[in-house]
Chains A and B, each alone.
Chain A
Amino acid sequence: MSRTDPIILLQGVHKWFGRLHVLRGIDLEVWPGEVVVICGPSGSGKSTLIRCINRLERHDRGRIVVDGIELTDDLRHVDAVRREVGMVFQQFNLFPHLTVLQNITLAPVLVRKWPREQAERVARELLERVGIPEKADSYPSQLSGGQQQRVAIARALAMQPKIMLFDEPTSALDPEMIQEVLDVMRDLARRGMTMVVVTHEMGFAREVADRIVFMDEGAIVEVAPPDTFFTRPRHERTRAFLSKILR
Chain B
Amino acid sequence: MRWTVVVANLPYLLEGLQGTVLLGLLVMALGTVLGFAVGLARLGRGVVYAAATAFVELFRDTPLIMQIFFIFFGLPAVGIRLNAFVAASVAMTFFAAANTAEIVRGAIQSLPRGQWEAARSLGLSSAQTLRWVILPQALRRTLPPLMGLFTTLLKDTSLAAIVNVFELTTAGRRVVERTLASFEIWLVVAALYFLLCYPLSVATQRLERRLVAEVP
* A241 and B131 alpha carbons, distance in the complex (Å): 45
**Chain B CB within 8 A of A196 CB:** no
Residue of A nearest to B125 (CB): A79
Question: Which B180-216 residues sit within 8 Å CB-CB of chain A?
Answer: 216
Known pairs A110-B128, A110-B132, A141-B216; A95 contacts B121 (CB<8 A): no
Give the interface segment out of A23-31, A84-92, A204-212, A230-238.
A84-92
* A142 and B103 alpha carbons, distance in the complex (Å): 29
B110 to chain A, nearest CB (A): 13
Q: How many residues of B contact A (CB 8 A)?
A: 18
**Chain A CB within 8 A of B120 CB:** yes
Name the residue among A56, A96, A152 with the largest chain B CB count within 10 angstroms.
A96
Residues of B near A141 (CB, < 8 A) are 216
Q: Is the CB of A96 within 8 A of B132?
A: no
Q: Is the CB of B123 within 8 A of A96?
A: no
Residue of B nearest to A91 (CB): B114
**Chain A CB within 8 A of B133 CB:** yes
Residues of B near A93 (CB, < 8 A) are 112, 114-115, 117-118
Q: Is the CB of A85 within 8 A of B121?
A: yes
Q: Is the CB of A56 within 8 A of B117?
A: yes
**Chain B CB within 8 A of A46 CB:** no
Known pairs A79-B123, A91-B112, A93-B112; A106 contacts B117 (CB<8 A): no
**Chain A CB within 8 A of B26 CB:** no
Q: Is the CB of A56 within 8 A of B123?
A: no
Question: Which B63-108 residues sit within 8 Å CB-CB of chain A?
Answer: none
**Chain A CB within 8 A of B8 CB:** no
Residues of A near B120 (CB, < 8 A) are 56, 82
Q: Is the CB of B122 within 8 A of A56?
A: no
Residues of B near A54 (CB, < 8 A) are 121
Q: How many residues of A contact B (CB 8 A)?
A: 26
**Chain A CB within 8 A of B124 CB:** yes
* A106 and B120 alpha carbons, distance in the complex (Å): 12
**Chain B CB within 8 A of A83 CB:** yes
Residues of B near A140 (CB, < 8 A) are 216
**Chain B CB within 8 A of A20 CB:** no
* A145 and B205 alpha carbons, distance in the complex (Å): 32
Known pairs A111-B123, A140-B216; A106 contacts B132 (CB<8 A): yes
**Chain A CB within 8 A of B137 CB:** yes
**Chain A CB within 8 A of B44 CB:** no
Residues of B near A156 (CB, < 8 A) are 121-122
**Chain B CB within 8 A of A244 CB:** no
Residues of A near B137 (CB, < 8 A) are 95-97
A195 to chain B, nearest CB (A): 15
* A107 and B121 alpha carbons, distance in the complex (Å): 10
**Chain B CB within 8 A of A159 CB:** yes
Residues of B near A86 (CB, < 8 A) are 121-122
* A6 and B119 alpha carbons, distance in the complex (Å): 27
* A168 and B133 alpha carbons, distance in the complex (Å): 23
Choose from B114, B124, B136 the contact partner of A97 (Cβ within 8 Å).
B136
Q: Is the CB of A83 within 8 A of B118?
A: no
Residue of A nearest to B216 (CB): A141
* A79 and B120 alpha carbons, distance in the complex (Å): 8
Residue of A nearest to B118 (CB): A93
Residues of A near B125 (CB, < 8 A) are 79
Residue of B nearest to A108 (CB): B122
Q: Is the CB of A111 within 8 A of B112?
A: no
Mark each residue of chain A from 63 to 92: 1 if its CB lies under 8 Å from any CB of chain B, else 0.
000000000000000010011011101010
A73 to chain B, nearest CB (A): 14
* A2 and B43 alpha carbons, distance in the complex (Å): 43
Residues of B near A106 (CB, < 8 A) are 122, 124, 132-133
Question: Which B110-166 residues sit within 8 Å CB-CB of chain A?
Answer: 112, 114-115, 117-125, 128, 132-133, 136-137
Q: Is the CB of B123 within 8 A of A107?
A: yes
Report B's interface with A, CB cutoff 8 A.
112, 114-115, 117-125, 128, 132-133, 136-137, 216
Closest 4 CB pairs of A and B: A141-B216, A93-B118, A107-B122, A93-B114
10 A-B pairs besides A56-B120, A94-B118 with CB distance below 8 A are: A82-B122, A82-B123, A85-B121, A87-B117, A87-B118, A87-B121, A89-B117, A95-B137, A111-B128, A156-B122
